[in-house]
Chain A
Amino acid sequence: MRFALTIFTLLIVAKASAQRVDTLAVYDVPEVSVTAQIKQAGLIEHSVAKTEVFMYDAERESIDDMRSMSSYAPNFYVPDYGSRMTSSIYMRGMGARIDQPAVGLYVDDAPVLNKNAFDFDVFDLRSVKLLRGPQSTLYGRNTMAGVMDVHTLSPFSYSGTRLAAEYGTANTVKVRASHYALVGEEVGVSVGGYFRHTDGQFTNEYDGERLDWEHGGGGRAKVEWRNGAMSLSNTFSVDATNQGGWPYRLIDKASGEKLQTNYNDPSNYTRLSLSDALRFAYKGDNYTLTSVTSWSYLDDCMTLDQDFTPRSMFTLQQAQREHTLTEEVIVKYDPTKRYSARFGAFAFYKHLNMAAPVRFKRDGIDELILANANKGIQTMFPDHAIEIEEREFDITSDFRNPTWGAALFHTSEVKLGHWSLGAGVRFDYEQTTLRYDSRATIHYRFTMTMPRFKQLDSKFVGSNRKSFFEVLPRVAVNYNAPKFNAYATVSKGYKAGGFNTQIFSDILQNRMMTDMMEDLGVYLDQTGPSYDTAEATGYKPEHSWNYELGASYTPSPKFSTDVSLFYIDCRDQQLTVFPAGKSTGRMMTNAGRTRSYGVEATVDWWPVKNLDLRAAYGYTNARFLKYNDGNNDYRGRYVPYAPQHTLSLSGDYTWHVNRTLSRIRLHADWRSVGRIYWNEANTLSQPFYGLLGASVAFDFARWTIEVWGRNLTGEEYDTFYFVSVGNAFMQSGRPRQFGVKLSFDF
């Protein structure tokens, strides 16, 4: 930590001059997209806490996916654990580990509705805007903590070819190539692709192999047409991933020591995601109309040693296929300079098919099923037991989950001098249905009475439907002067309810034991968790009211700062819990009520020529006001997994050298988060920690070579904690990494 601060201090006191200079001529086109402008203008632009990163800063800060924005924006935390499927995002004390995300993601105006597809490489990033706090009035479902709005480079903003190749620790290779061109004056096209590979940094002690290896690639093709008041564009993207992961370390129950990762069954994740977005915009005399139509397809499969031990207990394979269609139409109406309004309609349909068989192996059969079953029986007949013939068997779980929704929204804004008053409301309806079919067949016998094994079939089949209607208002008052802006907002956030698909193997396991006991005519006093009902497979929506005050001050082009204060009253907060005992699943539950308050501040300062400094700090105090899970009362405890502090410090110094070596750039950043509680009881936590990163880049006329390092101090920290079959596990953070990157722009 001290070393990190020393390096950072040395950098920020170094001689400096001049402001940021972009290596690419992409800043001459100010617009990002018409749709985003319409959504974020007025009410949103001036009355929301936001962090915006453009291409130059994104490449300098190595921001190329959602995780790399973690803690760069205040109170925004995306832990790096598990695999690319586990895109947990926390903002202002709210977040989700599974199912519905609390932060929405939009890429080139198209929503990404499935959290499993959040973690991908965004090459040629033009801008990332992170809106903090509920954005449900304009963005709808699952944006109650914020929205990340990503825009990629347009052929109307840049023409030419971009190439980059990178090599780093653990044989990490990244290659990308893209080309942007105008075909005539009205049509622009771009095409690009990337490839990535890494051997991984974490080793499985069981076989000595690396766990977090990965190879994958993808591409994007974009066609844009602009003709006066009309524009049309289509963006097609593809991403394919094949990776290992989950370097989870068992915590020794006696000593509390984290043991080395050691498990026997293969674990990997494959994902293919495709998306296509068609955007249309028309600008009339006093109105603008936009339409975004998107389709996305996700096909992924996770194979997991779910006990994460060298024992053969149980594995999970979860394969999903999902199609999603969305349509959004917005009309912005500006009849006078003082009044403007937006009218919007949004609809979506997605259909998910999922197969998630859990394979119980011999140790799991003995420990998770038979031990529990025989416990009661052997009180009476100590010399006899129930036996299962199979060495392994599957609990199959097949799900069909169609979901559709529709929304209408409106905002109005009145300007009175420096003041503006705005109000908006969204009416949002959603319906989701889960059809489930969970089955298992085993052969069992009771040694005392049954000479032969007998077949036992168990099943849990049915359907469950949930629908939600939400009214999502937002009111804002804004004072906007040339150098000073202040706002106050009250808004409601909403996260959809859903189904606990990960608990079905637990339910069927429980049902198998009940069926077996009924078949035997044995009735134990308590056979296990009592969630064997269709109702227990679902969870309710989460709602929040957000009260926010904010201000920004830009006295000169060399200095800008903003600060925001927030208070969030969250009801029915969705939290992941692990059923008591030696259960194998996890489930979302509505926690009752929590409140979160905090502060966020960002400072950008160019104190002298060539020196650029930035600091971003976030504080969140999120506690349960009411949460009793049936076993414990967690009132007053901190909400787990969400950090209390985030701090990002960065500094850049640039030397302009000569015509051949145009400049040398030094960059350093320190990203820190903590404390993070790992459980509702707040008995385990990760203290505040920081990661130092640095790079030096040599810019020539057409190419750049950059040497970089991350976690330079070798900070040891944890990124994740969970419990499975009564065992607790941690994942450690990534150790020190180095790399070199060569890039060309011509």
Chain B
Amino acid sequence: MKIFKIFALAAMMFGMVACDNEQTPEPVIDLDTTSAYNGTVSVVVNGETVSTPNSLIEIVPSEDGKSFSIVFKMIKFVPQMPALDITIPTVNYTIEEGVISFVAEGIIPICMGGEFPQYIVTQLKGTITATSIDLSLKFGEFETSFKGSLQTNA
């Protein structure tokens, strides 16, 4: 598997903290393995925004390292539905000054064992820094956003 890492921000930060031996080095963005982010997911349902704190998404890099998948863990659009894992596959990205940016349109997500066109992803855009993620999209008719911070590197 091809491995690539983003060192830009880390290199810059390293220069800043090199004089302070007691400080922990700033983490780098590691797209070699899956990263998990904990935060709040907000879904607009019937004009009302329903926010669920302590929600989880995972960024899973592709084999070739050119894209990643975004996995929403146990997301609910309406209270009476069961919680679902929804995967947005093959999201291409760019890197600029240590920040990953992505924009996508018309991706059919994977949900409940296969492609799930009812929740087609539109208006996807977001950024990932070394410690946080911020994204918004529409799952079918459901406007969704997520803001969270890096939890672990699985």
Return chain B residues, CB-CB under 8 Å to A521: 84-87, 111-113
Nearest CB in chain B: distance from A363 CB, A: 25
Partner of B81, one of A380, A450, A519, A520: A380
A454 x B113 contact (CB < 8 A) = yes
Give the complex CA separation of A223 and B19 in angstroms: 95
Choose one: B82, B85, B111; the contact of A449 (CB below 8 Å).
Answer: B111
Scoring B84, B111, B114, B115 by chain A CB atoms within 10 A of each residue's CB, the highest score goes to B114
Closest to A375 in B: B82
1/0 per residue, CB under 8 A from B, across A436-449: the answer is 00000000011011
Minimal Cβ-Cβ distance residue in A for B71: A521
B82 near A446 with CB under 8 A, answer no
Report whether B84 and A522 are in contact in the complex, using a CB–CB cutoff of 8 Å. Answer: yes
A451 partner residues in chain B, CB cutoff 8 A: 114
A449 nearest in chain B by CB position? B114
- Is A524 an interface position by the 8 A CB rule? yes
Decide if A376 is an interface residue (CB 8 Å cutoff): yes
Interface flags, A269-309, vs B, CB<8A=1, else 0:
00000000000000000000000000000000000000000
Taking CB atoms and an 8 Å cut-off, the chain A residues in 341-392 that contact chain B are 376-377, 379-380
Q: Are A448 and B82 in contact (CB under 8 A)?
A: no
Of all chain B residues, the one with the shortest Cβ separation from A376 is B82
Task: Name the B residues within 8 Å of A445 (CB-CB).
Answer: 113
Tell me whether A523 is interfacial, beta carbon within 8 Å.
yes
Assess the A450–B114 pair: CB atoms within 8 A: yes
Q: With A and B bound together, what is the CA distance between A208 and B108 in angstroms?
A: 58
Decide if B82 touches A377 in the complex (CB within 8 Å): yes
For B46, what are the chain A residues with a Cβ–Cβ distance below 8 Å? none
**Bound complex: CA of A448 vs CA of B81, how far in Å?**
16
- Is there a chain B Cβ closer than 8 Å to A257's Cβ? no
Q: Give the chain A neighbours of B81 by CB distance below 8 A.
A: 379-380
Q: List A residues 160-194 near B (Cβ within 8 Å).
A: none
CA distance A77 to B30 in the complex (A): 72
Q: Which of B81, B111, B112 has the most CB of A within 10 A?
A: B112
A377 contacts which chain B residues (CB < 8 A)? Answer: 82, 112
- Once the chains are docked, how many angstroms separate the CA of A239 from the CA of B80? 60
* Chain B, interface residues (CB within 8 Å), range: 10 to 19
* Residue A535 interfacial (CB < 8 Å): no
Flag whether B14 is at the interface (Cβ < 8 A).
Answer: no
Contact, CB under 8 Å: A520 / B80: no
Tell me the B79-117 residues at the A interface (CB within 8 Å): 80-87, 111-116
| CB-contacts of B99-141 with A (<8 A) | 111-116
Q: Answer whether A449 and B74 are a contact pair too, CB < 8 Å, given A521-B85, A523-B83.
A: no
Q: Does A31 contact B (CB under 8 A)?
A: no
| A 491-521 to B, binary, CB cutoff 8 A, 1 in contact else 0 | 0000000000000000000000000000111
Q: How far is the CB of A651 from chain B (nearest CB, A)?
A: 70
The residue in A376, A377, A454, A523 that gathers the most chain B C-beta atoms within 10 A of its C-beta is A523
Q: Which residues of A contact B82 (CB under 8 A)?
A: 376-377, 379-380, 522-525
Question: Whole-angstrom distance from the CB of B152 to the nearest CB of chain A?
Answer: 20
Query: Given that A521-B85, A521-B86, A523-B74 are known contacts, is A449 also in contact with B116, CB under 8 Å in the complex?
Result: yes
A526 to chain B, nearest CB (A): 11
Contact yes or no, B113 A450, CB < 8 A: yes
A517 nearest CB across to chain B (Å): 8
The smallest C-beta distance from A69 to any residue of chain B, in angstroms, reads 56
Chain A residues with Cβ under 8 A from B113's Cβ?
Answer: 445-446, 449-450, 454, 519-521
- Please measure, in the bound complex, the distance between the C-alpha atom of A521 and the C-alpha atom of B111, giving whole angstroms: 7
B71 CB to nearest chain A CB (Å):
9
Q: Are A446 and B112 in contact (CB under 8 A)?
A: yes
What residues of B have a CB within 8 angstroms of the CB of A446 in the complex? 112-114
A522's partner among B83, B87, B114, B115 (CB-CB below 8 A) is B83
> Restricting to A402-452, which residues have a CB under 8 Å from any CB of B?
445-446, 448-451
Q: Could you say which residues of chain A place their CB within 8 Å of the CB of B112?
A: 377, 446, 448-450, 520-522
Cβ distance B8 to chain A, nearest Cβ, rounded Å: 34
Which residues of the partner chain B approach A450 to less than 8 Å between Cβ atoms?
A: 112-114
Asked if A449 and B84 sit within 8 Å, CB to CB, the answer is no
Interface residues of B in 5-47 (CB under 8 A from A): none
| Docked pose: A173 CA to B14 CA in angstroms | 95
Residues of B within 8 A of A448 (CB): 112, 114, 116
Instruction: Report chain A residues within 8 Å CB of B80.
Output: 379-380
Q: Which residues in A have their C-beta under 8 angstroms from that of B115?
A: 449
Closest chain A residue to B115 by CB distance? A449
Q: How far is the CB of A611 from chain B (nearest CB, A)?
A: 76
How many angstroms between the C-alpha atoms of A450 and B111 in the bound complex? 10
Interface centre among A376, A377, A520, A521 (most CB of B within 10 A): A521
Shortest CB-to-CB span from B115 to chain A, Å, is: 6
Residues of B within 8 A of A454 (CB): 113
Distance (whole angstroms) from the CB of A449 to the closest CB of chain B? 3
B68, chain A: closest CB distance, angstroms: 18
Beta-carbon nearest neighbor of A380 in chain B: B81
On chain B, the residues within 8 Å of A523 by CB distance are 74, 82-85
B108 CB to closest chain A CB (Å) equals: 10
A115 to chain B, nearest CB (A): 44
Docked complex Cα distance between A376 and B81 (Å):
8
Q: Give bound CA distance, A525 to B83, whole Å.
A: 8
Max chain A C-beta neighbours (<10 A), residue from B87, B113, B114, B115: B113
Task: Output the least CB separation between A79 and chain B (Å).
Answer: 45
A377 to B83, CA, bound (A): 10
- Give residues of chain A (106-164) contacting chain B, Cβ–Cβ below 8 Å: none
What is the minimal beta-carbon distance from B72 to any residue of chain A, in angstroms?
A: 9
A466: shortest Cβ distance to chain B, in Å?
36
Distance in Å: Cβ of B52 to nearest Cβ of chain A: 13
With a cutoff of 8 Å between Cβ atoms, the chain A residues found around residue B74 in the complex are 523
Q: How far is the CA of A521 from the CA of B116 in the complex (A)?
A: 13
* Closest CB in chain B relative to A446 CB, distance in Å: 5
CA distance A524 to B112 in the complex (A): 13
Beyond A449-B112, A454-B113, 4 additional pairs, beta carbon < 8 A: A376-B82, A448-B112, A451-B114, A521-B87
22 chain-A/chain-B pairs, Cβ below 8 angstroms: A376-B82, A377-B82, A377-B112, A380-B81, A445-B113, A449-B113, A450-B113, A450-B114, A451-B114, A454-B113, A519-B113, A521-B84, A521-B87, A521-B111, A522-B83, A522-B84, A522-B85, A522-B112, A523-B74, A523-B82, A523-B85, A524-B82
The 5 closest A-B pairs by CB, nearest first: A521-B85, A449-B114, A523-B83, A380-B81, A450-B113
